[in-house]
Amino acid sequence: MPSAATLRPLGIAAFACLAGGGCAPQAVTEQGRRINGLYDIFSVTAAVIFVIVVGLITWSLLRYRSKSEEEIPAQTRDNVPLELLWFAIPQIIVVALFAITVSAQEDVGAQSSAPNVEVRVEGFQWGWRFTLESESVTVSGTSDAPPKLVLPVGRTIAFSMTSNDVNHSFYVPKFLMKRDAIPGEPNRFDVTIEEPGTYPGVCAEFCGLLHETMNFNIQAVQPAAYEAWLNEQRAGNGNG
Ligand SMILES: [Cu+2]
């Protein structure tokens, strides 16, 4: 039997999870917030079903518990309307959750035909290179000096992923977004960052010995600060 001291941290974690609307970090992008919203709906639906099921089981156990050895409870068979009802309710819930998931997926995966910023992301053992082709700016870094990419908030940013060697995965937890960088198979996703800040990113595909050192940072700033950073990069050697 686990002691109260062992259970307390678990209880706190469970409460934090529920209070935080599921266990996902709060996203800082428009697309990530759409996913947060979906998680919230799933969490609330699951919580309501949990309470109803546990409540009914508890009520049934208490109400119909055996009172004596000889007594047999009333035996009830077949109740077509009830059976239809508890067949129909889960079907409706599953179909509704499926429909809102598809709708969220479409929104999150949508690609703009004219993004404001286009970033080419190249993964390599063991680092990342970010190229803003139209701006003639490249930011590169390795495990010893992780690259920092500055991007504007409130603008559509298209990331196109590719790799120079093996499969990597571009993952920014605060975007709630992850895409594989595969040699010869470009992948793309678009985001609009809503909150300024620095967001760490990692490689999320085991790609070799120093995989865990493939870190980078995305710093989201106001558009004017982004323009200033671009000028700074171009005035330097063009490599951040
Ligand atoms: Cu990796």
154 and 92 within one domain: no
The answer to whether position 105 is within a domain reads yes
Per-residue pLDDT tens digits of the chain, which is 240 residues long: 455 666 666 666 565 565 555 567 899 999 999 999 999 999 999 999 999 999 999 999 998 887 777 777 778 888 999 999 999 999 999 999 999 999 999 999 999 999 999 999 999 999 999 999 999 999 998 778 899 999 999 999 999 999 999 999 999 999 999 999 999 999 999 999 999 999 999 999 999 999 999 999 999 999 999 999 999 999 885 444
Distance 88 CA to ligand 1 centre (A): 46
169 and 100 within one domain: no
pLDDT of 16: 56
DSSP 226: H
The answer to whether position 74 is within a domain reads no
The answer to whether position 6 is within a domain reads no
pTM of the model: 0.81
The answer to whether position 92 is within a domain reads yes
DSSP 5-38: HHHHHHHHHHHHHHHTTSSSPPPSBHHHHHHHHH
The answer to whether position 183 is within a domain reads yes
The maximal CA–CA distance of the chain, rounded, in angstroms, is: 92
163 and 93 within one domain: no
150 and 98 within one domain: no
184 and 97 within one domain: no
The answer to whether position 240 is within a domain reads no
pLDDT of 238: 47
Distance 47 CA to ligand 1 centre (A): 36
Distance 171 CA to ligand 1 centre (A): 10
DSSP 239: B
Distance 124 CA to ligand 1 centre (A): 8
Is 77 exposed, middle or buried, given 0-12, 13-18 or 19+ CB atoms closer than 10 A? exposed
130 and 41 within one domain: no
174 and 152 within one domain: yes
- Dihedrals φ, ψ of 125, to 5°? -80, 105
Strand duo 197-203 + 127-132: pairing: unpaired
CATH code of the domain containing 204: 2.60.40.420
128 and 50 within one domain: no
The answer to whether position 84 is within a domain reads yes
The answer to whether position 194 is within a domain reads yes
Distance 183 CA to ligand 1 centre (A): 13
192 and 98 within one domain: no
SS3 content of the chain, % helix, strand, coil (to 5): 40, 30, 30
Domain that holds residue 99: 11-65+79-109
Instruction: Render the burial of 36-66: b for 16+ CB within 10 Å, e for the rest.
Output: bebbebebeeeeeeeeeeeeeeeeeeeeeee
131 and 230 within one domain: yes
Distance 152 CA to ligand 1 centre (A): 26
pLDDT of 22: 57
162 and 93 within one domain: no
DSSP 74: P
Distance 236 CA to ligand 1 centre (A): 29
Distance 182 CA to ligand 1 centre (A): 11
> Number of folded domains in the chain?
2
228 and 122 within one domain: yes
pLDDT of 240: 43
The answer to whether the peptide bond before residue 229 is cis (omega within 30 degrees of 0) is no
Closest CA to 174 of 194, 150, 147, 188: 194
Distance 3 CA to ligand 1 centre (A): 40
Distance 160 CA to ligand 1 centre (A): 17
